[in-house]
Structure 1
Amino acid sequence: MIKIAYHPLYKHPLPEGHRFPMIKYELLPQQLVHEGTALQEDFFEPSLPNLDVVLAVHKKEYVDDLLQLTLDPKAARKIGFPLSSALVERELRIANGTILGTEFALQNGISFNIAGGTHHAYTNRGEAFCLLNDQAIGAQYLLNTYRFKKILIVDLDVHQGNGTAEIFKNNASVYTFSVHGKSNYPFKKEISNLDIALEDNTSDVDYLNCIKYHLPQLIESLQPDFIFYLAGIDILETDKLGKLSCTIEGCKKRDEIVLSHCFKNQIPVQVSMGGGYSPDIKTIIEAHANTYRVASAIFS
């Protein structure tokens, strides 16, 4: 059984310039059910999280400013979305979707969050459409709840997981691995435990060889208790915000490599979807749906 976090608020309406990327949060569940990759009962609606879990990662002053909508205007502009109570609630539910997903993954091997991958959120600030770092919150939750010795975060969004790197820079229990575009945002990178910065126009062959080389070594050396996988599809050559040249088939193969290693090594994995900004919504849905199709084939 593969459990999938989804809440109607994920498709929170935004001003005209921001609406297009949000459509996928409504269409992707519909596509998965329509084609039979998922059943309606596979989805769960995350409630609001216990704030103590959020505050284990994010500074109280920052969280209070979000909840009270008193964030400094300059800090709010860095987030990129107009700040509202509905947007903050959306981020809290996304975070709890990942938290609850960790429990499902411990039971069933894998879980998904239709949204999430908000890896640009730092301990004390948000940026680039990220308010709260869902996978960082999930990782800290597991450390505090189960006393795991090592967690591996595999961030394969085209943008470096700068917020995640900052959050865990002094935490030896979490290993951050980011493969991203060298010249992509953020232009001032943080330092992950392992950063692989790829040149513009990197194609399937070089991209996949990179994953095939590094991931097995990391799993072998770290022996992680749990893996978080950020499965961004903005590595596609069609992506408006990415500069790599991967194909849909290459992106699917990447998912097969990551999830096969999780399954083979019996390491529970939580998957958040991350970015995807191709101009054709069909491309976005197809690439995201492939991740679920791959998981269904491997974990069934």
Structure 2
Amino acid sequence: MKAFFADHVGLQLPPGHRFPFQKYGLLRDRVAAEFPSLDLHPAQPATEGELALAHEPNYISTVLQGHLSTQAQREIGFPWSPRMVERACRSVGATIMAARAALREGIAANLAGGTHHASADSGGGYCVFNDVAVAARLMQAEWHRAHRRLLRVAVIDLDVHQGNGTASIFRDDPTVFTLSMHGAKNFPFRKQPGDLDVDLPDGCGDAEYLQALDAALDVLWSRHGDHPPGLVFYLAGADPHEGDRLGRLKLSTEGLAERDRRVFDALLKRRIPVALSMAGGYGRDLADTVQVQVNTLRLAEGHWQRWNNQHP
């Protein structure tokens, strides 16, 4: 199974910054040590033309040329720097590469990604460009060029925060179905309506969450009828975990593993390729966040093995 990373491009953050950038290096170290069969690759940066599939040209040039206003930088949460730009472009590139690999092999992963708060003309919430939106549009274009038919896409966003940027980008696009399960009272406080939004109460635990997930997946499949999506982007956020300092939900480590298992099983049953992103995770103890993500990748590797042992 292929996995792509961009953590070798570090962020230049001021002392005491809240964003736990070190989690990406910790995760890659665990993956390299514990998953010798995982095929790790550094991500190539997305091009300006690729970014323009989901973002306004003026916003792209403002980011790339360092013209973001102080307010725009505050909303993104990162000060502008050349490294911030390179990392943002490579994070999108990692999801593009994972999506291409998934269409060939059933599943592949971005060890970061899930930058779902970036909309067409702005960033926010530690998200500069929307990796899933860019990759979805690019995969549709490449698929149409190769096969002369439409590639329907679904986004299963299980980060604890609503994928407001993704929802806004695909609001009027019937070819991309956006499903988001998130804390009702959590960031962003003004939600953007997607195709299916599941609001969860503070303190939601394993049983309530998994019941809501089953119901949401049933809606996803029923909305597509006899024409399921040809590609799914799965944002497997670790931030619903009970130890997350921003999450406000109460899922256990075992509950999150069961969440992933149910998603992967549903996709395998329907033979739908999946590009996986790790999305958010802000554990009071970062080891908890990394462990949740390691568990996700372990299940993903098992999914890849089962996919390639089945006959289409």
Match in the other structure for 1:29: 28
Residue 156 of structure 2, aligned match among 144, 154, 157: 154
Give the deviation of 1:49 after TM superposition: 2.0
Structure 1 residue 88 and structure 2 residue 85: aligned? yes
Match in the other structure for 2:308: none
For residues 1-300 of structure 1, what are the structure 2 equivalents within 5 Å? Answer: 2-18=1-17, 21-35=20-34, 37-39=35-37, 42-147=39-144, 148-222=150-224, 223-300=228-305
> Is contact 1:33-1:39 (8 Å) kept?
no
Question: Which stretch has the larger CA shift, 249-258 or 211-220?
Answer: 211-220
1:38, 1:137 → 2: CA distance? 30
> Is contact 2:114-2:131 (8 Å) kept?
yes
Give the deviation of 1:252 after TM superposition: 0.6
> Is contact 1:263-1:299 (8 Å) kept?
no
Residues 74 and 160 of structure 1: CA distance in aligned 2, closer, same or farther (over 3 Å):
same
| Paired letter, 1:175 | F
> Is contact 1:203-1:245 (8 Å) kept?
yes
Question: Which stretch has the larger CA shift, 59-68 or 24-33?
Answer: 24-33
| Paired letter, 2:164 | N
- Deviations along 1:119-168, one digit per CA (max 9) or x if unpaired, are 00000000111000001111111122213342100000000000000000
Question: Which stretch has the larger CA shift, 19-28 or 167-176?
Answer: 19-28
TM-score w.r.t. length of structure 2: 0.92
- Deviations along 1:224-247, one digit per CA (max 9) or x if unpaired, are 111000010100111111111100
Unaligned runs of 5+ in 2: 145-149, 306-312
Cα RMSD, aligned residues only: 1.4
| Paired letter, 1:179 | M
| Paired letter, 2:80 | L
SS of the residue corresponding to residue 68 of structure 2 reads: coil
**Paired residues, number:** 297
> Is contact 1:11-1:26 (8 Å) kept?
no
2:7, 2:112 → 1: CA distance? 11
SS of the residue corresponding to residue 16 of structure 1 reads: coil
SS of the residue corresponding to residue 17 of structure 1 reads: coil
| Paired letter, 1:156 | L
Question: Which stretch has the larger CA shift, 160-169 or 211-220?
Answer: 211-220
Unaligned runs of 5+ in 1: none
Percent of aligned pairs with the same amino acid: 38
